[in-house]
Amino acid sequence: MPNETLAKHLFHWETQPMKWAMRLRVALYLAQALEYCSSKGRALYHDLNAYRILFDKDGNPRLSSFGLMKNSRDGKSYSTNLAFTPPEYMRTGRVTPESVVYSFGTMLLDLLSGKHIPPSHALDLIRSKNFLLLMDSALEGHFSNDEGTELVRLASRCLQSEARERPNAKSLVISLMSLQKEAEVPSYVLLGIQHETAPSTKPLSLTPLGEACSRLDLTAIHEILEGMGYKDDEGIANELSFQMWTSQMQETLNSKKHGDTAFRAKDFSTAIDCYTQFIDGGTMVSPTVYARRCLSYLMNDMPQEALGDAMQAQVVSPDWPTALYLQAACLFSLGMENDARETLKDGTNLEAKKNKN
């Protein structure tokens, strides 16, 4: 995410304030991100603020910082300034999906004003129909009263003291869709940042494994990995003292052997279990075992776990193109095509470099 935070562009801009159309786009993208989280059973995004929104290479806003969400499903974690805390959190000490919508309302205030205004102060201005005092003076003449009124109305609905009176993420998306302006203009133009266009590249000359990974042909990948055996593990540091050749060590090696048998027989669930026992034994490291478990995970429709193993194979053996090819296959499986193609290119370049040496 190379283009800074929302806080930087909104509160600490240097060359130009954020345009009205871009503020509306940020609000929509953020609402869509929250709706996506909710649809995946992760509705409790903790401590939503302008520092958690980052801009990608195309200038599009992205929601970040999911650690608290992953580690706390019961809503007991909140670290924001108490002036911006949902009122029910003050009473119960818990974050609810409605609390997240309240925090979204504070984000709308940030976008409207270009400042971090406490909700109580903003609501006083709204109730007294002085909402224009809320608006960022840098936006003067760049939005219609109707647009400003609608966004203020949406913010005030999100900031209702009664949680049940707030809209849900889906209705926020619907409301914000109708407000979008200059939809055909790329985000990097609205944001006023440089945009590097990718140079035209000739088609990659892929190895059989690279080709199989680019097609996500798991059967072909299996055949290639099986044919490679463990020759690429040569030179991996596995210094074992005499004392380590114990029954536990033998058990670890047996689990690898059983994993290889299952892998050959295409019993990928058993292969995962056996290779996991070998890895958890901790006495030896093998990039090939990580590669084989990676493919076994892919065969079992577990691409996220597979990606973790492909990355671990690269940690163990940084100059091993197979690890990058498998990462590309995992990324294709996760629908991350641009990242997959970049990783495929990295693997091809690494292999060419190795062959040249």
Q: What is the pLDDT of residues 132-187, one digit of tens each?
A: 788 898 888 888 888 888 999 999 999 998 999 999 999 999 999 999 999 899 99
Burial class (CB in 10 A: 0-12, 13-18, 19+), 345: middle
Q: Is 217 in the active site?
A: no
Q: Which residues contact 205 (CB under 8 A, 6 or more apart)?
A: 348
Percentage of residues in the chain with pLDDT exceeding 90? Answer: 50
Domain around 150: 4-191
Q: What is the mean pLDDT of residues 35-59?
A: 86
Distance CA 257, CA 249 (A): 13
Average pLDDT over residues 18-43: 92
**Range in 123-137, 140-154, 290-304 the model is least confident about:** 123-137
- pLDDT at residue 299 greater than cutoff 90: yes
- For residue 166, what is the domain's CATH number? 1.10.510.10
Same domain, 21 and 123: yes
Q: How many domains does the chain have?
A: 2
Q: Which residues pair with 61 in a beta bridge?
A: 55
Give pLDDT, residue 126: 82
CA distance 87 to 75: 14
In order, the DSSP letters of 125-151 are HHHTT-GGGTS-GGGTTSS-HHHHHHH
Mean pLDDT across 227-255: 67
Q: Which residue has the tokens 């499903």?
A: 73
For residue 329, what pLDDT is reported?
A: 95
pLDDT over threshold 80, residue 66: no
Together in a domain, 222 and 186: no
Whole-number Å distance between alpha carbons of 82 and 183? 36
Residue 83 pLDDT: 59
Residue 16's identity, in one-letter code, is: Q
Task: Give the pLDDT of residue 128.
Answer: 75
In a shared domain, residues 213 and 337: yes
The last residue of a domain, from among 127, 161, 191 = 191
pLDDT for the residue numbered 74: 52
Q: Please give the average per-residue pLDDT across 263-276, as a whole number.
A: 95
Distance of CA 147 to the CA centre of its chain: 31
Distance between CA 47 and CA 114 in Å, rounded?
19
Identify the active-site residue in 47, 136, 232, 233.
47
Q: Which two tokens stand for residue 263?
A: 């892998």
Structure confidence at residue 293 (pLDDT): 96
Whether 199 maps to a domain, the answer reads: no
| Predicted pLDDT at 91 | 82
CA torsion angle 97 302 316 218 (round to 10): -150
What radius of gyration do the chain's Cα atoms show? 26
